[in-house]
Amino acid sequence: MNASPLPARHSVPTPDLSPDLTQLQQPVEPLTPRCTVQQAGERFREPRHAALLSLPVVERGKVLGCITRHDLLMRVYMHPYGRELHGRRSVATIMNADPVILPVNTPIEAAGKIIGARIRRPITEDFAIVDADGTYRGMGIVLDVLHALETRLGEHSRELERACRHLQSSQNQLIQSEKLATLGQLVAGLAHEINTPLGYVQNNVEMIRPLLQAAAEWVGAAQALMQIGEDAGLAVAEACVERMAEASQAFEPTLFRDIDVLLEDTLHGVTQMADLVGNLKDFSRIDQRRSDDVDLHGVIDAALRIGGHLLRKRQVDVRRHYGELPLVRCAPAQINQVLLNLITNAAQAIDHDKGVIAIRTQALGGYAMIAVHDNGRGIAPDVLPRIFEPFFTTKPTGQGTGLGLSICQQIIHAHGGRIAATSSAQAGTRFVVALPLGGRPPGSPA
Amino acid sequence: MSKPCLLLVDDEARILRSLALLFRTQYEVLTTTDGVEALRWVRERIVHVVVSDQRMPGISGVDLLRQIRDHSPRTMRILLTGFADLEAVEASVNEGEIFRFLEKPWNAALLMQSVAQAAAIACAEFAETGARTVATVASARVLVLDEDPATAALMASILPSETPVTACTNVESALAHLGEADYGVIVAEIRHGSDDVIGALKLLKQASPGTLAIACSSLRDGRILIDLINQGQVFRFLPKPLGRELTRRAVMAGLERHALLRREPIRVRRHAVEAPREISLPGRVMDYFRRIRDQARQRA
């Protein structure tokens, strides 16, 4: 008979495997039908059986019945002459010939139901545990079943909670990816709307510039002619010369050159706007499906351009230490989102004017590593383990959803990669993203 | 010689005004914000080149260009758009068979050059008399460039038995085949480990404009496609996995077009391409191209 320990109260749950009676089984040496009632009473007084309500009566491995403390007390010891009447008789004469017998592989929940139906109040007996073929294995204590059921309930509710959290976070990821898709559509519309005025503004300015040069040329020639007219004192042309002199006052000597500079500036502004729209397009990549072999440095640069306004606002010095990276198979729009999130978080963690964000890349052990390191205020040690939890946020209510990093983690995991953070108040925070160079295309398109 | 006719279609009148001024010295310019009016013009008179926006109320640029193609196949079609999503780019290749895909804000010099090229081609075609007859497909060859043997197997199973299908798995052997015989259609998977298939297709179009290129890929990227339109005059784009009927129709249309090009070499000009940018192919590959080019000259 192998001794099994009592069930651990905090066992690791195995959701796919319902626990049975193995854990509850107590190795109890059974009585034989040849034992007397007297001997059964002595057996009950042994300390090793202190927790048992009943002892099994077994012959050739088969359970014949159980004798309970309660029966012994009520029918033998508390009965006048009970010991004299029953003491020498076989234990079988006063045992319960129909005790609760359960196969060892009965799930705890089922055992609970059977015991609840079979055992009467007050609880006076325990139950016997047998093999699949009915061979006696040991005893089970009713209270243990209750405890085990309680533990199971706790586990169930924790599992439910986990499932619920998982559901919520995938639901939120869905909402986020919906948002992202909507954002892509929005960006496409926006790009189109902005590029249209940019198109004609740029074209118009470009058409005006050569014309303006021709006009400058013309005015110069006219002024020369006017001078000749004045010098020669041609009466015929006097009215004309006067008109020209009048009109000529509008043209300072440097005017045309200055205006051309202004037009050049205008074109520069238009180009800048076009670049900005281009960056937005790169970011949302509505013109692309599925994953691609991507130059991660280009993705980092795109994220830096998008986050540029925040970095400039906080006067953060961005230092890029790019190593050698091969092309990496990934969904660029998603990786873009991750990097933008990390860069934005880094910028927001900096509340002094010597802010530095260092971005390092290298290929290491079959992974492309991207490290984003800021010299900001750092993450408190008690907060650090929780940063990837969905809905966990240190920002005031309404400021952060607490989803950013959990989505980042989900995206990176979907790529078969890893994301981790280290942080201290002195050294700031360092996030490292590792993407497999072999590439595992994400299961679902962005 | 009267000026060629240029039709501009955009829902923003300021774009039309701006473009009209750019072109009015060299072309007879028609402008409209209305797709229906654009179609009426194309039906009623000769329009050499049409430049259309993509996103317009009522009709998309691709739809409009497809209808213009049906009414007046000789009209050269250019799409000028602020931003097109992937579907629009793919449709512009497969349905609009456009000559160029240009983006706003445009580079004036490049736009003028594209329109001038298109106008020259259209003028030559409209000057030809004689109705177009649908060519019967000669037993032109089809070359399949794909690491996946399933693509060539699919071609062999959907094409008529008299159409020989040659399969190869890398750019170099593809070029060797192209140097040895006249191929009507090349079907190429545009993503290969290290091969610059896209570069090769662009060069192929310069060297042998009579070969129709059908690109296929599981990667669907608008930027790459726009490049392939402008510099490779790619005839069709088929997203993978390949559908039997769609693929068959695309290849047959390519073979038909090829037959037409062989009978009327002037049409080859419709497939003129922009000079490709920064293509680096190994020297051996360039040799193949030189050979192809020489052969093409001898054939011409």
Position B137: which residue type?
A: V
Confidence tier at A116 by pLDDT (50, 70, 90):
confident
Q: Cα angle at B152 between B147 and B154, to 5 degrees?
A: 125
Average pLDDT of B23-44?
95
Contact B92, B101 (CB under 8 A): yes
Length of chain A: 446
Nearest CB to A290; choose among B85, B219, B223: B219
**CB A347 within 8 Å of CB A431:** no
Q: Round to whole Å and give the CA distance between B67 and B40.
A: 11
Contact A194 B82 (CB under 8 A): yes
Residues contacting residue A10 through CB under 8 Å, at least 6 positions apart: A151
CA–CA distance, A104 with B120 (Å, rounded to integer): 91
CA distance A9 to A379: 35
Q: What is the pLDDT of residue A16?
A: 43
Structure tokens at A58: 């077994």
Cβ-defined contact of A274 to B105 (cutoff 8 Å):
yes
C-alpha angle A345-A187-B17 in degrees, rounded to nearest 5: 140
User: Could you tell me if A193 lies within 8 Å of chain B, comparing CB atoms?
Assistant: yes
Question: What's the confidence (pLDDT) of residue A442?
Answer: 43
Nearest to A195 among B83, B191, B221 (CB): B83
Cα–Cα separations (whole angstroms), residue B115 to A16, A357, B2: 68, 48, 16
Q: What is the SS3 string spanning A8-32?
A: CCCCCCCCCCCCCHHHHCECCCCEC
Distance from CA of A255 to the nearest CA of B (A): 25
Asked if A134 is an interface residue toward chain B (Cβ–Cβ < 8 A), one would say no
Contact B82 A191 (CB under 8 A): yes
Note the pLDDT tens digit of each residue in A66-87.
Answer: 999 888 888 888 888 888 888 8
| Between B136 and A298, residue with greater pLDDT | A298
pLDDT tens-digit readout, B127-181: 876 555 544 555 689 999 998 899 999 999 999 888 899 999 888 888 888 878 8
Is 60 exceeded by the pLDDT of residue A444?
Answer: no
| Per-residue pLDDT reduced to its tens digit, A405-424 | 877 887 888 788 999 999 98
Nearest to A192 among B18, B55, B106 (CB): B55
Distance of CA B11 to the CA centre of its chain: 25
Higher pLDDT, A324 or B273: A324
Residues 6+ apart with CB under 8 A from A364: A434
Quote the distance between the C-alpha of residue A111 and its chain's center.
38
User: Do residue B18 and residue A199 have CB atoms under 8 angstroms apart?
Assistant: yes
Q: Residues A206-236: pLDDT tens digits?
A: 989 888 888 888 888 888 887 887 787 777 6
Chain mean pLDDT for chain B: 84
The per-residue pLDDT for A441 is 44
**Sequence-separated (6 or more) residues with CB below 8 Å from residue A217:** none
CB-CB neighbors (< 8 A) of A203 in chain B = 18-19, 22, 105-106, 108
Hey, what are A114's tokens?
């059977």
pLDDT at A283: 57
User: Is residue A60 over pLDDT 70?
Assistant: yes
A169 pLDDT exceeds 80? Answer: no
Share of chain B above pLDDT 90, in %: 42
What's the pLDDT score for residue A411? 80
**Residue A289 confidence (pLDDT) above 80:** no
Q: Is the pLDDT of residue A7 over 80?
A: no
Q: State whether A191 and B83 contact (CB < 8 Å).
A: yes
CB B255 within 8 A of CB B137: yes
Q: Between chains, do B86 and A197 touch, taking CB under 8 Å as contact? A: no
Which of A207, A289, A290 shows the shortest C-beta gap to B22? A207
The average pLDDT across B70-96 equals: 86
| A287 has pLDDT over 90 | no
**Is 90 exceeded by the pLDDT of residue B221?**
no
pLDDT, average across residues A435-440: 75
Note the pLDDT of residue A191: 80
The residue type of B177 is H
Token pair of A202 as six digits: 């740029």
Q: What is the pLDDT of residues A170-182, one digit of tens each?
A: 777 677 666 666 6
Q: Distance from CA of residue A426 to its chain's centroid?
A: 27
- State pLDDT tens for residues A125-146: 899 999 988 899 999 998 899 8
State the distance between the two ends of chain A, measured CA to CA, in whole angstroms.
Answer: 59
Please indicate whether, in this complex, the C-beta atoms of A188 and B108 are within 8 angstroms of each other.
no
Q: How far is CA A291 from the centre of its chain?
A: 21
DSSP state of B276: P
Residue A1: the pLDDT is 43
> Cβ of A203 under 8 Å from any chain B Cβ?
yes
pLDDT at A420: 94
> What mean pLDDT do residues A378-407 have?
78
Contact B86 A289 (CB under 8 A): yes
DSSP symbol at B239 = E
Contact B41, B47 (CB under 8 A): yes
Residue B194 CA from chain centroid, whole number: 25
Question: CB-hemisphere CA count at 13 Å for A72?
Answer: 23
Could you give the CA distance from residue A302 to residue A281 in angstroms, rounded to a whole number?
A: 10
The answer to whether the beta carbons of residues A415 and A395 sit under 8 Å apart is no
Q: What is the mean pLDDT of chain A?
A: 82
Pick from B57, B65, B90: which is nearest to B8 by CA?
Answer: B65
Cβ A192–B17 below 8 Å, yes or no? no
pLDDT of A12 above 60: no
Spatial CA neighbour of B242 closest among B159, B176, B173? B159
Contact indicator for A322, A361 with CB cutoff of 8 Å: yes
Taking an 8 Å cut-off on Cβ atoms, the answer to whether A200 and B15 are in contact is: yes
| Tokens coding A38 | 């007297």
A100 pLDDT exceeds 60? yes
Contact B138, B262 (CB under 8 A): yes
At A226 the pLDDT is 79
Chain B positions contacting chain A at CB under 8 Å are: 10, 12, 14-15, 17-19, 21-22, 53-55, 81-86, 89, 103-106, 108, 191, 218-223
Sheet containing A127-130: which strands, arranged edge to edge? A101-103, A127-130, A136-140
pLDDT at B66: 93
Q: Where are the alpha helices (DSSP H) in chain B?
A: 13-23, 35-44, 61-71, 86-94, 108-127, 149-158, 171-180, 197-207, 222-232, 244-263, 283-299
Whether residue A192 and residue B222 make contact (CB cut-off 8 A), yes or no, is no
Q: What percent of chain B has pLDDT over 70?
A: 85
Contact criterion met (CB < 8 Å) for B106 and A199: yes
| Residue of B10, B55, B83 for testing the chain A interface, max A β-carbons within 10 Å | B83
In contact, B141 and B180? CB cutoff 8 Å: no
The per-residue pLDDT for A430 is 95
Testing the interface with A: which of B52, B104, B107, B111 to mutate, by most A Cβ within 10 A?
Answer: B104
Are A26 and A141 spatial neighbours (Cβ–Cβ below 8 Å)? Answer: yes
Instruction: Report yes or no: B128 and B134 within 8 Å, Cβ to Cβ.
Output: no
Structure tokens at A370: 């991207």
A206 touches B at CB < 8 Å: yes
Angle between helices B35-44 and B61-71 (to 10 degrees): 20
Residue in chain A lying closest to B54 (CA): A192
Evaluate whether B89 touches B61 at the Cβ level (below 8 Å). Answer: no
Q: List Cβ neighbours of A103 (8 Å cut-off, separation of 6 or more).
A: A21, A129, A130, A131, A132
The whole model's pTM is what? 0.58
**Pairing of the two strands B212-217 and B236-239:** parallel
Query: Is B106–A289 a contact, with Cβ atoms under 8 angstroms apart?
Result: no
Mean pLDDT over A14-36 rounds to 81
DSSP assignment, residue A90? Answer: B
Inter-chain touch B18–A198, beta carbons under 8 Å: no
How far is B27 from A170, CA to CA, in rounded Å?
58
Under DSSP, the state recorded for A91 is: G
Distance CA A347, CA A387 (A): 17
Chains A, B: CB pairs < 8 Å? 81
pLDDT greater than 80 at residue B300: no
CB contact under 8 A, A192 and B18: no
Give the pLDDT confidence score for residue B51 in this predicted structure. 97
Residues 287-316 of A with CB under 8 A from B: 287-290, 292-293
**Closest to B272 in 3D by CA, of B147, B44, B117, B62:** B117
Residue B154 in tokens: 């699919």
